[in-house]
Structure 1
Amino acid sequence: MPLELVTIPCLKDNYAYLVHDAESGETAVIDVPEAGPISAALKERGWTLSHILLTHHHWDHIDGVADLLKDHPAKVIGAEADAHRLPPLDIAVAEGDTLRIGGEPVQVIDVSGHTVGHIAFYFADSKLAFTADSLMALGCGRLFEGTPDQMFDSLSKLAALPADTLICSGHEYTQSNGKFALTIDPDNPALISRIEQVQKARAEGKATVPSLLSEELATNPFLRCNDPKVKASVGMIDAQPSSVFAEIRKRKDSF
């Protein structure tokens, strides 16, 4: 059976996620921006936290770990490459490693770019990818530490996952990302339709993440760098997709 997924709003515009295996009772949280909403979600469902999975070191993804551990002892898992700036890890992982949550294997994917050492967690059986600030709904994370080539390679790995994978990203940025996407891909009917749906959801106070990878492939300009229309839009019709990505990211930075 697929794991149960719970999306938890945190802070101003962050998301944490719970995944729960009903058979074993194991429950993992992916990123801990703050402890309160996560503790409340666990209590409401009667779940016991077993694992804390951390994607990267930024404060708005890890600041609640110490407080959460006070009431919910759990194994803390994060990137070996990032261990020096994460909360103390019980298990340090790297790309290619496989974890288990309940009965389900979890692949670790290096998605450096936003930071160096950023990882994603892919639950193939449940069709879930926790991408935090790498691949985001209609966008990707700003390159605080990595290079455009690193982020392009990271997004290429995620784009190669099955199209029905649910992309569980770290922030409610979809509306602003959509406004930028329209400057790159203005005649894309799938993008126009999606932006309308996003605006309706936000007006109703609903989250716009997770999102299907198929949606991102059809509408996210950072995954469409080989599309002739996108290339033409940025005046780079003969350029390599990685160069087109770098140009789009540069434009987003000043948008």
Structure 2
Amino acid sequence: MTVSRPEIRTFLCRSDNIGVLIRDPATGACAAIDLPEAAPVLKALDETGWTLTDILVTHRHLDHVEGIPEVKRRTGARVTAPRKAGPDVPEVDVSVAEGDLVRVGDLEAEVWETPGHCLDHVTYWFAEAGIVCAGDTLFTLGCGRVLEGRPESLWHSLERFLLLPDDTQVFSGHDYVLANARFALAADPDSQSLRDRMAQAEEAKAAGRFLVPTTMKHERATNPFLRSTEPALAKAVNLSPNSPAEVVFTALRAWKNSF
């Protein structure tokens, strides 16, 4: 069976959250990735004429789940959430963990547990569609802040993304692109690829757009956290070029926290 290429709509929620709708044109099934607030999601549904069937939650933080009750009441959508989030996600119908499969019509996503930002975080990998919904684990030019657990856990979560094909589209939970770009340039000021990416981010911002989704090709080339194996990034945090990647990552993440 050949799966139709999904239709996707992205839009801002709250101040900097990214709303994402993914629709299977063959069946009409449509999923929201997280539900930061109800109004922008309902507006996007009205504008597209799409019918929401699913809400896929990446983690329990309020800015990703606050709109669930109202949208579920309006649409009857099924709520899928990380099992480890427990009752902190409202009105859950399906709880998922590592290796589970989630279907949105004919679209299928594998669930990855990607702790680091928080212990319950999951990522949805739509392999055939070439889409990964990373929540607050991986951002364009950045990664999530470590709020629970150890930085090494987040690094090991990010390593999974490095195995994805270059053309994989990465949908993240926030538009932090300009702030992330400034930090990335501080860590690697000689990178022409980064300077080009910053220019793209500034152009997008001026036009009312954002660089979400990004691609794994772009992130491998420019995201300092994914480049923690590279000597240039070790040097940026005053470590030996032979330092383990998780040590370099931990130092980069600590620097970004105070940047």
**What's the TM-score once normalised by structure 1's chain length?**
0.98
Paired residues in the alignment total 255
Which residue of structure 1 lines up, in the alignment, with residue 244 of structure 2? 240
Farther off after superposition, 6-15 or 229-238: 229-238
| Structure 1 letter corresponding to 2:129 | S
Deviation at 1:167, TM superposition (A): 0.6
Which residue of structure 1 lines up, in the alignment, with residue 257 of structure 2? 253
Which residue of structure 2 lines up, in the alignment, with residue 66 of structure 1? 69
Aligned-partner Cα distance in 2 for 1:104–1:57: 24
For 1:31-110, list aligned pairs within 5 A. 31-110=34-113
Q: Secondary structure at the match of 1:113?
A: coil
- The percent of aligned pairs where both chains have the same amino acid is 38
Structure 1 runs not aligned, ≥5 long: none
| Structure 2 letter corresponding to 1:243 | V
Deviation at 1:233, TM superposition (A): 2.1
Q: Deviations over 1:137-170 (max 9, x none)?
A: 1100111112111100000011211111111001
Aligned-partner Cα distance in 2 for 1:211–1:93: 26
Aligned-partner Cα distance in 2 for 1:98–1:71: 26
User: Contact 1:83–1:89 at 8 Å: present in 2 too?
Assistant: no
Q: Which runs of 4+ in 1 moved over 4 A?
A: none
Farther off after superposition, 204-213 or 168-177: 204-213
User: Contact 1:77–1:92 at 8 Å: present in 2 too?
Assistant: yes
Aligned-partner Cα distance in 2 for 1:69–1:88: 8
Aligned-CA RMSD value = 0.9
Aligned-partner Cα distance in 1 for 2:71–2:87: 20
| Structure 2 letter corresponding to 1:254 | S
Deviation at 1:183, TM superposition (A): 1.3
Aligned-partner Cα distance in 1 for 2:207–2:77: 35
**What's the TM-score once normalised by structure 2's chain length?**
0.96
Aligned-partner Cα distance in 1 for 2:104–2:72: 18
Which residue of structure 1 lines up, in the alignment, with residue 225 of structure 2? 222
User: Contact 2:69–2:91 at 8 Å: present in 1 too?
Assistant: no
Deviation at 1:186, TM superposition (A): 1.1
Aligned-partner Cα distance in 2 for 1:176–1:247: 18
Q: Secondary structure at the match of 1:154?
A: helix
Structure 2 runs not aligned, ≥5 long: none
